[in-house]
Amino acid sequence: MKKIKIMVVDDNKDVLFSVKEGLTAITNYEVHTINGGNKFVKIIESDDDLPDIIVLDIMMPEIDGWEIAAKLKQNEKWKNIPLIFLTAKTDELSKGLGSLTSDDYIEKPFEITDLKNRIENVLKKK
């Protein structure tokens, strides 16, 4: 059985480390961490082995999660990849906007088991 491939995109190396270590410890997922939005865009544009799901921080320098989500949804090759936003923004406006472009939304700080459950729920709907 093929491992589920997850790309986690954040500008915080501590978050990336925690998510990779946590998910690897409790799942059989293939977890790829990418530090920053520009690096992610370069990787996804050149990689034919697409992820099963993307976990994406909203607030990043250079290119933010909103821009990346819009870019993904406009591309025929990437538009059906499920997307979960990670963010420290908790206001209702952000949640509403997040629901338009992502499949789920999780606020920082979070428990790794909560993220795992959200990933599983989104993949079930796929």
pLDDT band of residue 2 (cuts 50, 70, 90) is confident
- pLDDT tens readout for residues 101-115: 789 889 899 999 999
10-38: average pLDDT: 97
What's this model's pTM, rounded to 2 decimal places? 0.92
Picking from 91, 82, 88, 121, the residue whose alpha carbon sits closest to that of residue 107 is: 88
Identity of the amino acid at 117: N
Spatial distance between the Cα atoms of 36 and 77, rounded to a whole number of angstroms: 21
Q: Which of the residue ranges 8-12, 65-69, 97-101 would you say has the lowest mean pLDDT?
A: 97-101
All domains of the chain in start order, with CATH: 5-125 (3.40.50.2300)
- What's the confidence (pLDDT) of residue 87? 83
pLDDT at 90 over 80: no
